[in-house]
Structure 1
Amino acid sequence: MHTDAVHQSQFVLLNESTTPVLSRLSFHADEPFAVTVAFRTERGRWVEWTFARDLLVTGLTEPAGLGDVRVRPDLSEDEAMLTLEIESPDGYASFELEREDVETFVSATIELVPLGSESEYFDVEGLIEEISNV
C-alpha cells in the first residue's frame, strides 16, 4: 500500500511535567516543506503547529530555529530526548520528544520526499489558486 503521508504519535513531557501529553507528528507529500506537530489538550482538542521540515531535520543534531518553533538536542539532560520549544503571543511551551521516534518519523518523510526534491512535489499553481479564491 502506497501513502503520501506520514503520521506518528507519541507521549511527550510538557515543561518538565511528570504527566505526559499525547502528540502527533504529521507530514504530507503535497506539502513537502512542512511538518505539523499537534498536542492533545485536556478537553480532547488538538493544538497544531506547522513548521519547516528542515528545522526538524537539523534539530536532530544541532539547535535549529530562531522564531516561534525551535528544536534542540542540547537542552535535554537525556541524550535520548529532543527539546521542542514553541512560543506565541499566548505563551511558551517546552516539550521533550523521544529522539528515536523523531528520527523514525524524519526518515519516513525523506522516503516519501527526499531532501532537496521538495519543489518537485509542491503544487505552486494549486497554492496560487487557493490563495486567489479567498
Structure 2
Amino acid sequence: MHTDAVHQNQFVSMNGSSVPVLSRLSFLAGEPFAVNVAFRTERGRWVEWTFARELLADGLVEPTGIGDVRLRPDLAADEDILFLEIESPEGYALIEFEREDVAQFVQATLDLVPLGTEHEHFDVEALIDEITNV
C-alpha cells in the first residue's frame, strides 16, 4: 500500500514540565516543503505549527532557524534530545523531542519526497487557484 503522508505521534516534554504532552508530526507529499507539528492542550484541542521540512532535517544535526521556530540538538548534555523553540505574540514554548523519533519521521518524509525534488510534487496552479478564489 502506497501513501502520500507520514504521521507520527509521541509524547514530549513542554517547558520542562514533568507531565508529557501528546504531539503529532505530519507531512503530506502534496505539500512537500512543509511539516506540521501539533500539541494536544489540556482542553483537548490541538495547537498546530507549520514550518519548513528542511528546517526540521537541519535541526537534527545543528542549531537552525531564526524567528518564530528554532531547532537544536542537545549535543552538550544529552544528544538523544532535540529542542524545538516556538515563539509567537501569545507566548513561548520549549519542546523536547526524542531525537531518534524525529530522525525516523524525517527519513520517512525523504523516502516519499527526497530533498531537492519538492517542485515535482507541488501543484503551484492549485495554490494560485486557492489564493485567488478567496
Normalised by the shorter chain, which TM-score bucket?
Answer: over 0.9
Q: Unpaired segments of 5 or more residues in structure 2?
A: none
Please name the residue that 1:72 is paired with: 72
Q: Can you list the C-alpha shifts for 1:78-117, whole angstroms capped at 9, x where unaligned?
A: 2111000000000000000000100000000000000110
Offset from partner CA, 1:25-45 (integer Å, 9 cap, x none): 000000000000000000100
Aligned pairs for 1:1-134 (under 5 A) are: 1-74=1-74, 77-134=77-134
Q: Distance in 2 between matches of 1:38 and 1:123?
A: 24
- The answer (yes or no) to whether the contact 2:74–2:80 under 8 Å persists in 1 is no
CA distance in 2, matches of 1:9, 1:90: 25
Q: Which runs of 5+ in 1 are unaligned?
A: none
Please give the secondary structure, in 1, of the residue aligned with 2:104. Answer: helix
Q: Quick one: distance in 1 between partners of 2:115 and 2:36?
A: 17
In the TM superposition, residue 74 of structure 1 has moved relative to its aligned partner by 3.2
Aligned residues: 134
1: distance between equivalents of 2:68 and 2:59? Answer: 14
TM-score (norm 1): 0.98
- Aligned partners of 1:75 and 1:83 also within 8 Å: no
Amino acid at match of 1:26: S
Which consecutive segments of 4 or more residues in structure 1 shift more than 4 A?
A: none
Aligned-residue Cα RMSD (Å) equals: 1.0
Structure 1 position 67, deviation (Å): 1.3
Contact 1:73 1:82 in 2 (8 A): yes
